[in-house]
Amino acid sequence: MQECVRLGNYSFRDHAHDEADAEDFTDLEVERTILSGKIREQQRDAATGEAKYIIIDLEGDLEVVAKLGPTGRLYIITVYTI
């Protein structure tokens, strides 16, 4: 996931941008969370079996939910404050 961010191989889902705007988080803060935060939890979608990851920033106030797509692209699903 970090490599995807470094290479620019990622995108925000509309919901993620909406939530980031509502919570006053910038794209840079979301990127920083993925690059320097830690995975708090991995979940599996019951219907598709896809893994998604909850990543927490070092300060403990932002969480990012992201998944890797079948082509290796990172999708940022949502962001929120803790």
**Cα gap 22→4, rounded to integer Å:** 25
The tens digit of pLDDT for each residue in 19-55 reads 999 999 999 999 999 999 999 999 998 888 899 999 9
- The count of other CB atoms within 10 Å of the CB of residue 49 is 7
Pair 52, 66: CB distance under 8 Å: yes
Residue 44: both structure tokens together: 């599996």
**Cα gap 24→30, rounded to integer Å:** 11
The tens digit of pLDDT for each residue in 48-82 reads 889 999 999 998 899 999 999 999 999 999 999 98
Structural domains for the chain? 2-81 (3.30.2310)
The tens digit of pLDDT for each residue in 8-17 reads 999 999 999 9
Q: Name the residue with tokens 């290479």.
A: 7
